[in-house]
Amino acid sequence: MIHKKNSRLVLPVLVLALTVPGLAILVGSQKTQTLTAAETVGTYSIDPWHTNIGFRVRHMGLAIVLGEFTDYTGTISYFPNDITKSSVQFTAKVASLDTGVQQRDDHLRSADFFEVEKYPEITFRSTRLERKSEKTFIAYGDLKIKNVTKQIALPVEFHGVVRDSVGDTRLGGSATLNINRLDYGIRWSQVLDNGSLVVDNNVQIELQFEALRQGPKKGAAE
């Protein structure tokens, strides 16, 4: 779900970005450096300023309802010369789901759907990564929703690794996964006279991410 931005904040943020060193990274105005493979090895933590975990599902066979999780963590261990050593893990707090409608969000958190109080997290932990091309990978691993864990194959588009203007090394990518919510014990729905479901069983999960490498920046004291 896309949050509504307050347009009155735009000008002050732009002014600060131009006057405060390093703040331009928040609005995307910065120079970057391309790195060698050896310079990109390391453990990266998800950057919440530049990451989105979204989902979409069809309502009554008509419109697509969009939502997102706003509270999450993740780490990526990256070894470009031997991708089999790499790993990925994500955790999303289910209570943070947001579709923009409070009544609907409360229903999704209830026992009809996610049972947030009993199952507060959705997790994914890779078991192996496979390179398909220079820019595409498959992350095989365990996706846990509620009390159900299933092995999945998550296609990942790799967008590269750069060093930004303040010395941070950043990795980015995207992924899309289609699941059947019934497989994870999320079963509530109603059937209309025409056979359509109030909430479709098929859910698309969309991930856009940036992650920051942990450790000292370039030029920083060891």
The CA-atom distances, in angstroms, between 16 and each of 10, 131, 148, 161, 222 are 10, 41, 46, 26, 30
Neighbours of 148 (CB within 10 A): 12
Q: Where are the domains of the chain?
A: 1-29, 31-213
What's the average pLDDT block by block, 10 residues per block, for the chain (222 residues)?
39 38 45 75 95 94 93 96 94 97 96 96 97 94 97 96 91 96 90 80 95 77 40
User: Do the Cβ atoms of 136 and 123 come closer than 8 Å?
Assistant: no
pLDDT of residue 13: 39
Interacting residues of 47 by C-beta distance below 8 A, sequence separation 6+? 170, 209, 210, 211, 212
Q: Which two tokens stand for residue 181?
A: 């919510």
pLDDT of residue 218: 66
Q: Which CATH code, of 3.40.980.10, 3.90.1150.10, 3.40.50.1970, 2.40.128.110, is assigned to 31-213?
A: 2.40.128.110
DSSP state of 140: E
pTM of structure: 0.80
